[in-house]
Amino acid sequence: MLPNKKKEIRSIVGMLVLLIFLILVNVYHQNLSVYWTSFLIIGGSLLFIGVIYKIIKVIKEY
Concatenating the DSSP letter of every residue in 1-62 gives --HHHHHHHHHHHHHHHHHHHHHHHHHHHT---HHHHHHHHHHHHHHHHHHHHHHHHHHHH-
35-58 average pLDDT score = 82
If pLDDT is split at 50, 70 and 90, which confidence band does 32 have?
low
Q: CB of 40 within 8 A of CB of 23?
A: yes
% of the chain with per-residue pLDDT over 70: 92
In one-letter notation, the amino acid at residue 50 is: G
Q: Is residue 18 within 8 Å of residue 47, measured between CB atoms?
A: yes
pLDDT at 31: 64
